[in-house]
A and B are shown apart, each in its own frame.
Chain A
Amino acid sequence: MTLRKDLAIIADWITPQSRILDLGCGEGELLAYLRAEKGVQGYGVEIEEARVVAAIRRGIPVIQQDLDQGLRNFADHSVDTVVLSLTLQASTYPRELLLEMLRVGREVIVTFPNMGHWHARWQLGIRGRMPMTDVLPHTWYDTPNIHLCTIRDFESLCHDNGIAIHQRVVLNERRRETWRNRLLPNLFGEVALYRCALMAR
């Protein structure tokens, strides 16, 4: 079972035998891997009908729910890790969702497409068009992605809300980690991956 590079990094960050919640789990590929390979007990949360069916067919416990309605049904600290993979930018209340995730889990893993990437900057800054990339393949008028941000934006949100960043990995457009990504992540990173937790008070 091989996972897409960004999912493989998330899988590496998950503790074996832990309990997780995968928000916007899609067809459940990450959870299927984690259940099989790491003995993880996990639930997916997904709104889209066909994906719910696909996850069920995979044998993944999946709860059909709209993330924009919050996570009230999940108790405080009821899981070890809450994962939000390439979904933050599609949520109506990203800040509230992030804080809810930090309430439900000890740790959160968040990944998102970086709008600071040189290709996006090129499209907007030079060509004067809304960016379209392989992680953001939609036209501006037909996109679920309504809250796009850059790596610097996200880190500033964390800073302002008492969220500690424990680890960050930035991947380029070929889903690789290179020295350029490390040196200038906000320019060369196309996908950003974070492990965060609430700062100790």
Chain B
Amino acid sequence: MPAEIPADSVGLVIPQTVTFSAPLELECGRDLPGYTLTYETYGTLNTQRSNAILLCHALSGDHHAAGYHGMDDRKPGWWEHLLGPGKAMDTERFFFICANFIGSCKGSTGPASINPETGTPWGLDFPMVTVRDWVRTQAELADHLGIAQWAAVVGGSLGGMQVMQWTMDYPERLRHAVVIAAASKLTAQNIAFNEVCRQAIMTDPDFHGGRYYAHATKPRRGLSLARMIGHITYLSDNAMRTKFGRDTRGGKAFSFGFDVDFEVESYLRYQGSSFVEHFDANSYLYITKALDYFDPANAFGGNLAEAFASTQAAFLVISFSSDWRFSPERSREIVQALYTCNRDVSYAEIEAEHGHDSFLMPIPQYVAVLRAYLGRVAEEVGA
């Protein structure tokens, strides 16, 4: 709870919604009969409408990228460190939009929403959605807001995948693409982690085939376990060692039982159980599938450079040294493909110890790179 809102915060923000009533034809072949997007905006759109930046969120993220919803909020938005007046993503120069993607559970249409045909929650009847579908809905939002071209589209992790998809599907609608801690496709190991998470959810006795809403319950253990696994992979070995080491809870002696002994156990249990309170298990299933399916090079015989051949944007690619879930090697593949097809691309490999989560943190070199790049973008678009 902020006693008062810090001066470099965007302050209190109010989420907005827009509903598109026309059916959306999805990549999976099915139609979604209309959908709602929940989004937030920060900063002011200039009269030329040239200073808009789209932010794309990651797996457990949402439209609340910065600021507070109320004075009793425990935490600000997920990119608060980087987004605000005078920050690397400067709300005094740009107009930022962040929309919750469909399939999520944070306000946009997803498996917990009501299926208009049945009048009950969709559950696993919700059609499979992909990164490409998300980008399409974001383009509809841009039309709705009268933004013909983004100054930049920026995203980390799964958000970075959306940025790449934007450059391929709407090459003329963005000038710059900022792809952070991302990959052009998941590795087998990465898909494996996602599958373990999904199995944890789906084998929970309270899952009820995804219809747990009707049973007034939810697969708490499964979702909590999924989050714990995810959390381990988002941190580095070193970061966990530094943060917890082998410390026991409250410095107590071993219990010689199966209750919490170590701090790291306590931390993971807390992360798991608090996640369950604000995230829908079905959404977790859908979003991890979208991650697994993403592979734009697949349509080009695995040649990523060909997938990027139609793009027009200039790129900034950023990776973090200790990120083993989306390792620097994956980012280098993206850079290499962009080099091969003659795109302007800059690449920064940030020394950071926080693993994949580094993209959320105000690491000085990361901040400096983003600030330098977006400063150029601002000059270019007259922001």
Q: Which residues of A contact B (CB under 8 A)?
A: 19, 41, 43, 49, 52-57, 59-65, 73-75, 78
Q: How far is the CA of A35 from the CA of B88 in the complex (A)?
A: 26
Q: Closest residue of chain B to A73, judged by CB?
A: B336
Residues in B whose Cβ lies below 8 Å from that of A52: 346, 348, 369
* Contact of B61 with A by CB under 8 A: no
Given A49-B365, A73-B336, list of 10 further CB < 8 A pairs?
A19-B342, A52-B346, A53-B369, A55-B346, A57-B372, A60-B346, A61-B346, A62-B346, A63-B345, A74-B336
Q: Closest residue of chain A to B318, judged by CB?
A: A64
Residues in A whose Cβ lies below 8 Å from that of B345: 43, 61, 63
Residues in B whose Cβ lies below 8 Å from that of A19: 342
Q: Closest residue of chain A to B377, judged by CB?
A: A59
Residues in B whose Cβ lies below 8 Å from that of A57: 372, 375-376
**Complex contact B339–A73 (CB within 8 A):** yes
Known contacts A52-B369, A56-B373; A75/B346 CB under 8 A: no
Q: How far is the CA of A115 from the CA of B346 in the complex (A)?
A: 35
Q: How far is the CA of A75 from the CA of B373 in the complex (A)?
A: 26
**Complex contact B372–A53 (CB within 8 A):** yes
Q: How far is the CA of A117 from the CA of B361 in the complex (A)?
A: 50
Q: Which 3 A-B pairs have the closest CB atoms?
A: A57-B372, A56-B372, A63-B347
Q: A-facing mask of B348-383, CB < 8 A → 1, else 0?
A: 110100000000000001001100110110000000
Nearest chain A CB to B285's CB is how many angstroms away?
36
Residues in A whose Cβ lies below 8 Å from that of B314: 61
Chain B contributes a number of interface residues (CB within 8 A of A) equal to 22
Residues in B whose Cβ lies below 8 Å from that of A64: 347-349
**Complex contact A56–B369 (CB within 8 A):** yes
- Which residues of B, 233-292, contact A by the 8 Å Cβ criterion? none
Q: How far is the CA of A18 from the CA of B376 in the complex (A)?
A: 24
Q: How far is the CA of A54 from the CA of B351 in the complex (A)?
A: 17
**Complex contact B332–A73 (CB within 8 A):** yes
Residues in A whose Cβ lies below 8 Å from that of B344: 61
Q: Which of A63, A73, A78 contacts B346 (CB under 8 A)?
A: A63
Q: How far is the CA of A188 from the CA of B265 in the complex (A)?
A: 69
Residues in A whose Cβ lies below 8 Å from that of B365: 49, 53
**Complex contact A78–B375 (CB within 8 A):** no
Q: Which of B332, B349, B351, B368 contacts A53 (CB under 8 A)?
A: B368
Residues in A whose Cβ lies below 8 Å from that of B346: 52, 55-56, 60-63
* Contact of B316 with A by CB under 8 A: yes
Q: A-facing mask of B324-348, CB < 8 A → 1, else 0?
A: 0000000010011001101011111
Q: Which of B335, B349, B372 contacts A73 (CB under 8 A)?
A: B335
Q: How far is the CA of A65 from the CA of B331 in the complex (A)?
A: 12
Q: How far is the CA of A75 from the CA of B337 in the complex (A)?
A: 10
**Complex contact A75–B340 (CB within 8 A):** yes
Residues in A whose Cβ lies below 8 Å from that of B372: 53-54, 56-57
Residues in B whose Cβ lies below 8 Å from that of A65: 347, 349
Q: Which of B336, B342, B369 contacts A41 (CB under 8 A)?
A: B342
Residues in B whose Cβ lies below 8 Å from that of A75: 340
Known contacts A43-B339, A49-B365; A59/B349 CB under 8 A: no
Q: Closest residue of chain B to A49, judged by CB?
A: B365
Q: Closest residue of chain B to A72, judged by CB?
A: B336
* Between-chain CB contacts (< 8 Å), 14 pairs: A19-B342, A41-B342, A43-B339, A49-B351, A49-B365, A49-B368, A52-B369, A53-B368, A55-B346, A56-B348, A56-B373, A63-B335, A63-B339, A73-B332
Nearest chain A CB to B90's CB is how many angstroms away?
14
Residues in A whose Cβ lies below 8 Å from that of B368: 49, 53
Residues in A whose Cβ lies below 8 Å from that of B332: 73
Residues in B whose Cβ lies below 8 Å from that of A41: 342
Nearest chain A CB to B316's CB is how many angstroms away?
7
Q: How far is the CA of A74 from the CA of B338 in the complex (A)?
A: 11
Residues in A whose Cβ lies below 8 Å from that of B340: 75, 78
Residues in B whose Cβ lies below 8 Å from that of A60: 346
Known contacts A56-B372, A56-B373, A57-B372; A78/B349 CB under 8 A: no
Q: How far is the CA of A49 from the CA of B365 in the complex (A)?
A: 7
Q: Closest residue of chain B to A74, judged by CB?
A: B339
Q: How far is the CA of A49 from the CA of B367 in the complex (A)?
A: 12
Q: Closest residue of chain A to B365, judged by CB?
A: A49
Nearest chain B CB to A200's CB is how many angstroms away?
27
Q: A-facing mask of B290-324, CB < 8 A → 1, else 0?
A: 00000000000000000000000010100000000
Nearest chain B CB to A91's CB is how many angstroms away?
19
Which one of B332, B345, B347 has the highest number of Cβ atoms from chain A below 10 Å of its Cβ?
B347
